[in-house]
Structure 1
Amino acid sequence: WRGIFKKSLGLRPTRRDPNTHVVTRAVCMLCVNVGRETQPARGRRSRGPPVDEQFFQFPWRVDNIKSHHLCFHPRIWAQH
């Protein structure tokens, strides 16, 4: 976890290790504050669209976090 993740990737720590105080889990603040943008239907879906917040944990893969933003918050992420 790096402190810059808060501002640059819009994450907020939600869980820390009680002994070391190292961040072990973080939530996407775009999911919390704005929600996920609706996506156009692409064929038949077997499940409904995700409606809850996205959580991330170690290892902090920046490419996965950015991929989440591009898929579920494309308009807001483009402005960021």
Structure 2
Amino acid sequence: MRRAAVLTTSEYEKKNRELEEALRFGERSSSPSTPEKRELQMDDIENSTSNGISLFDHKLDQAYAEVEAAVSAGTLGTPGQIGSLSR
């Protein structure tokens, strides 16, 4: 579960950095930023954020399902299961 959260967070942070760099680069360009261009940039940010949240929710649901399956099977807390959950 922790691994899924870390992977999702790192993917989100990478995309966020890319968007921030794109915005900074856009601010330094010689052509002025139009309201339409800013609106498109904001739409991109909103879509990327929404996608990141959806991905995180999906990974979290997967992790919960794995834990629930382990609890149902009675394997949660066994030495092998503890090691696989922490990865």
Q: Could you state the TM-score of these two structures normalised by the residue count of structure 1?
A: 0.23
Larger Rg: 2
More helix by share: 2
More strand by share: 1
Q: Could you state the TM-score of these two structures normalised by the residue count of structure 2?
A: 0.22
